[in-house]
Structure formats: C-alpha cells, structure tokens
Amino acid sequence: MRGRSRLVLTGCAVVAMAVVLAACGSSSSGSASSASRSSAGSASRAATGTASRAATGSPYQIGVMADLTGPAATLGVPQMAGITFWADQTNASGGINGHRVTLVRCDSQGTAQGGVACAARLASLPVVVATSLIAPDEAALPSLTGSLVLATTPLLVPARAAHPNTFQTEPTIAQSDGLALAAAHRSGIHTVGVVATDDATGTVAVKALQSEAAANGVTLAVQYVPESVTSATVQLAQLQADHAGMIFVATPGSPAAAVVQAYKSLGLQVPLVLTSADVTDAFLQSVRSADLSSLYGVPAAAVVPGSLPEPYRSILQRLFSTYQNQTGKAMDYATLLGYYTGQLAGDVIGGAGYHAGLPALEKYVETHHLATDLGPLSFPGPTNVESGISPVVVQMAPGKTSFEPCRPTASFRC
C-alpha cells in the first residue's frame, strides 16, 4: 500500500516522523502531496504529543452527525470523542494548511427524522462525517448531495450511481460480520441464530448476512426485536429451540444489551458474537453484570494493535497511549473509527482544498491513498467502500473495558 501517513510509505526511507513529512512526497496519485502535508503531519504529532505552529487562517468547518442520544448512543458518543480528539490534535499541530478545524456537531438521535434535521443543518458544508445508524444516514443523504460524505456506517454500501459523493470508511458486512459466519463454518456450526431489529437497520443487516451464510455453508435462524426492546428472552429461547450453534447480534446499542442479558438469564453457552458497532467500552459497561466467557466482537478496525504490521502497530500503540494519558479513557473501536475518519477528512481537505468544490473532493478520494494511523486507505469503485482495513475477531470482557485477540477453542475456531 502507498500513501500519506504518519510514516509515509514512498520511495523515501522510513526515518523520523518529521523528516519523512518534510522530505518525502510528490503530487502524484497515491503519494504525499505538499498540499496535504500539514494534515498528515498532525497524525504524527497526535501520537507523540508534540506541538507545531499556531493556525492563523479562517477555520475549516466539518459537519459531524452522530447518534449522541437514543439506542445507539454507545456507538455515537465515542465516535464523536474520536473525531473531536483528532480535531484537537490537528489544531494543536497547526491545523490543516494553517487553518483550524471546527466541528459542527449534530445529534441524529438514531432516527430518520434526526438524520433529516442534521442534513438540513450541515448541507452547506463541503465535508460531512456521518457516523449514525442506517436509518438516519439514509434519510440524510438525499439532502447532502452537495457535500463530500464520509460515512462510518458499515451497513451503508452506497452504489456509485446513487450516492457518488458518499464514501464508506468501514469495510462491508461481508468483510466484518461475515468473519463470524466463516468462524461458524470452521467450527462445524450448521445453524447460526441472528437477532436483528425490525427496522431498516435490521433489514439491511439480515439481507447481507443471508448472502454470507450461503457463501459459508451455514443456515440462519432469524429473530426480530423492536428497537425499544428491553427483554429478548423469548427470541433467544426460540433460537435455542432452533439448535443455533452460535448467536450473532446484528444490531447495536440497547437492543444488543437486551440480548446479552437474555443470553445470561437463559444460561446459554454457545458463542455470542456482536457486530462491530458494539465493540466499545460504553457497551461493555452497559452489560458489565453479564460475566460471559463466550462473548466476541468483529470490529472493522484494529482495536488490538498487534493485528497490524509495523510500522502501524507501533503507531497505533502510541496513539492509544496518548489518548489514555490525555483523556483518562481507553481508545475503543468506535473512538478509533471516529479518529481515523477525521484523519481521512483532513487528508482530503488538505490535499484537494477546502473550497475546491465537490467534484475535486470526490476525485481526490478516488485517486489517492489517504493517510490514517491504520495505514493508507483507498476507495475503489463501484461501491466507494474503503480498501485497506482487515477486520479481526476479538474476545470481549463485560465490565473490564478490554478487548483481546480471539483465542480459538475446541467449540469455536475464531
């Protein structure tokens, strides 16, 4: 992979961060351009805590819509914390090409109505980061046709013809949640129980999982719950009767917490796998009373730095340490997702220009490898979905706010 990053992978030797950012790069596609160096450079200093010159230009506003309240707040709040941390580090390092970053925040509340309201507020901005669930994201997109949209929602796979201005910063369900079904196949599990919400989010998730199930030779037994569910005991009892050898929770936030509690109350022992949106410290705290040893997650980003090659393993470890020292909190999956999506936004603005216009912003994303602490990412057509992140299966420990590499067992070969 090539691109602009905290350690730039070009023909230059990998040396000290400041030397790389000062000496490496060209204006060609896939390499660091002089226009975006200050944005990429802020990524370096975010992990080291070093400062740079003060930003003096007029602020660059970036829109951010997130589910800060509602059933998916355990995802939206840490994502907002991540992109806020990126903006703070970028501003402390001189901003983007000498301009401070200002985040225009909007709470989409996990609803379509909230998405429409946020779109109306953010539509005038050249770049919008959409971190909400599928319902608010889908509702917002028709009003954001004049903005470059970076969507973190893994359920949103925008067709280029329908949403040419939207780019998904997470892998697809086939790449992330599909890992759970592949693990089921390796483990000799023939029936996978799926719990999903009876709304747009659940419908899209189940449709994608059905395709992956066929590819992995497993059968799905699906149970739906309302978004406001407080008990999923009936649904899990049915999956138990269906002889599900694994249960996959295809919905984030409070509905997933209800599934975890029902799993515990029924005394189930089969692997319980959560979607990437639930690999957060906030979610683990919400189910801390459920002391489970068979709880897994499939984050689309590397919450376990050891899963990355060097130099990005060390880069991410320093980032995690810096975040812990400055905020007193661990950087979980959602926080990391918000952070590196902020890096992507900064790289595009720094390279193409804040006032370049949507066509130029789109072309920049389509023709460059963009810098993140996970490595350079690209967005090949026709789906506009990122390429460069390899999801992993992790072990989750309720109440311990920790994630560990999945340890294969005799019954679950993750």
Q: Which of 40-49, 118-127, 294-303 has the largest mean confidence?
A: 118-127
Q: Give percent of the chain above pLDDT 70.
A: 83
pLDDT at residue 124 is higher than 60: yes
Query: What SS3 class is residue 349?
Result: helix
Residues 284 and 392: their CA atoms lie apart, in Å, by 18
Question: According to DSSP H, which parts of 187-292 are helical?
Answer: 200-216, 233-241, 254-265, 281-286
**Contact criterion met (CB below 8 Å) for 164 and 381:** no
pLDDT at residue 219 is higher than 80: yes
pLDDT at residue 27 is higher than 70: no
**Contact criterion met (CB below 8 Å) for 169 and 161:** no
**Contact criterion met (CB below 8 Å) for 218 and 184:** yes
Whole-number pLDDT of residue 158: 54
For residue 225, give the amino acid letter.
Answer: V
pLDDT digits (tens, 9 = 90+) for 277-293: 888 888 888 888 777 88
- CATH fold match for the domains 17-171+304-367 and 178-301+393-405: yes
Is the domain spanning 178-301+393-405 CATH 3.40.50.2300? The answer is yes
pLDDT digits (tens, 9 = 90+) for 55-85: 888 999 999 999 999 988 988 999 999 999 9
Residue 52 pLDDT grade (very low, low, confident, very high; cuts 50, 70, 90): low
> What is the CATH class of 17-171+304-367?
alpha beta
Whole-number average pLDDT of the chain: 83
Tokens 């912003």: give the residue.
Answer: 361
The structural domains of the chain, with segments of one domain joined by +, span: 17-171+304-367, 178-301+393-405
> What token pair was written down for 369?
């490898």
The H helix count followed by the E strand count for the chain is 13, 12
Q: Which residues pair with 3 in a beta bridge?
A: 9
